[in-house]
Structures are given as structure tokens and as C-alpha cells.
Amino acid sequence: MQTQFTYVLDTEDQERHITIRPFPQPLAGNHAFVTGVFGLFEGKASLGEIVFDDKMNQWEYTAAGNLNHKEAGQIAAFIKNHCNV
């Protein structure tokens, strides 16, 4: 996942458009690798980060209060399953 993606999160009250930005680690030349850290944004507001372990199996959401555990889990599943990480 080298670019940002938008995830539409359906909640009871509304649709939320969450931008997911990977934080890649630069390597020599023009290459980069995914670190397993993904910033979440709604508009210009930061919603925190989802951080995966080395094998992309376990994740942690770093900003409690902006998203509940179920919502963060849906976004983590999207990252893992659809973004070639």
C-alpha cells in the first residue's frame, strides 16, 4: 500500500469517510516498504493510527474515543485484505 485510500464506514448515525495513509519507511533509491503503521483521518482531523504486528495478524488502535473497537476492526480488516500489505 503505497498511496492513501478512502474507506466508507457505515455507522448507525451516518457514513464516515476515513482516509487511510500508510507510513512507509524509505529505503535507498526510490523504494519504500510498509511499516504496518497507518494513519486515519476524517477530513483534516486525525483519528489516530492502526498499528499492525510484523505479520499483519494483530492490530492496535492508538486513539480511543474517535472510533470504537468494532469500527477500528472494520478498518483494520480492510487494510489487511484489500491493500496488498
pLDDT at 13: 87
Rounded Cα–Cα distance for residues 20 and 62 (Å):
14
Looking at the DSSP bridge assignments, the partners of residue 16 are: 9
Rounded Cα–Cα distance for residues 24 and 16 (Å):
25
pLDDT at 38: 92
If one counts the domains in the chain, the total is: 1
Q: Which domain holds residue 37?
A: 5-82
pTM for this entry: 0.81
Note the pLDDT tens digit of each residue in 1-50. Answer: 557 889 999 988 899 999 999 887 666 666 655 668 999 999 999 999 99
pLDDT at 70: 93
Which of 6, 85, 82, 77 shows the shortest CA–CA distance to 39?
6
Mean pLDDT value of segment 49-72: 88
